[in-house]
Amino acid sequence: MKLQYTILLMLISDGVDENEYTFLREAFEREGAEVLTMSALPYETIESVFCGQRGKDILVDLPLLKGYSTDFSGVVIPDGPLSVQQLAEDTMVREFIRWCHGAQKPIFASGGAAVLLEDSETPPIVQVDAGTSLQSFLLYASDVLRGKTKLRPVLA
């Protein structure tokens, strides 16, 4: 229960990689974090992708605009080419990322989602290279959230 009392917002859109979303969500929850799924889309569920096919629907816990008023510790953005593309094209998402930077909220973007931090017109807080394993990603994010390590711009 290393992350007890930690609230993480997982920012996703249609096309998020089901395996990565599920792995990260369950891993953070095992560590004691509360993980809330957030989306800029006005839907109650998001369509995931599993092995190039339509995956399971993922329930959205809160819309993006409620993220501003939620007392959270950090944001996790899992990979998924379609999801990343939709998030990158959404001006509300870019504004939220800029707001997180200003509020010093760590953003953990895995794989291709790192482009969202590069395109946010502010220096990235946390960017995870595509070659990094999800387990390394999880360990690094947990250490940052617990204050055991400082943020690095890139985790190789």
List the CATH number of the domain containing 143.
3.40.50.880
Amino acid making up residue 31: E
Query: Is the predicted pLDDT of residue 42 greater than 50, yes or no?
Result: yes
Residue 131 falls inside a structural domain: yes
pLDDT digit string, tens, across residues 5-23 = 889 999 999 999 999 999 9
Angle 104-105-106 (CA atoms, 0-180°, nearest 5)?
Answer: 110
**Percentage above 70 pLDDT, the chain:** 82
Parallel, antiparallel, or unpaired: how do β-strands 53-59 and 107-109 relate? unpaired
pTM confidence score: 0.84
Determine the pLDDT at residue 139: 74
Domain of residue 121 covers 7-155
Report how many domains make up the chain: 1
Residue 114 lies in a domain: yes
For the stretch 120-140, pLDDT in tens is: 555 445 555 555 666 777 777
Residue 56 within any structural domain of the chain: yes
46: exposed, middle or buried (C-beta count within 10 Å: 0-12, 13-18, 19+)? Answer: buried
Question: Is residue 1 in a domain?
Answer: no
**2 belongs to a structural domain:** no
93: closest CA among 138, 26, 39, 144? 39
| Structural tokens at position 144 | 């940052």
Residue 52 resides in a domain: yes
Q: What is the mean pLDDT of the chain?
A: 83
Would you say residue 39 lies in a domain? yes
